[in-house]
Amino acid sequence: MGKATYKVKEGKLIKVNLTLNEGRIEEIKIMGDFFLHPEETIEDIERTLRGCILNEERICNLIRNALSREGAVLLGASPEDFARCIVMAGEKDG
């Protein structure tokens, strides 16, 4: 499993645990002390990222889409920050 921690400048702390399978995200948990409304959107984001390759831009787009689908608001972190931390965790897996 790959783990990464990323402190957002002037913002919150993001932690990601993930496992890759043949270069694609198999399991992922995005954790931290940020705010996301509605909160359950985090599970949608994680679901939508399963099967995705470890490409920062693609991950970021999937997160943005999930947020706008739910009309969700992220505070203390951005989709770019999430994507950065996910790629960091992915590079540590294996």
Coil vs helix vs strand at 88: helix
Sign of the Cα torsion 38, 43, 46, 50 reads: negative
Which residue lies nearer to other proteins by CB, 23 or 38? Answer: 38
What part of residues 29-88 is at the interface with other proteins (CB under 8 A)?
29-39, 42, 73, 75-76
Which residue lies nearer to other proteins by CB, 53 or 75? Answer: 75
Which residue lies nearer to other proteins by CB, 71 or 94? Answer: 71
* Structure tokens given for 22: 């043949």
Give me the residues that bind other proteins (CB under 8 A), please: 11-13, 15, 29-39, 42, 73, 75-76
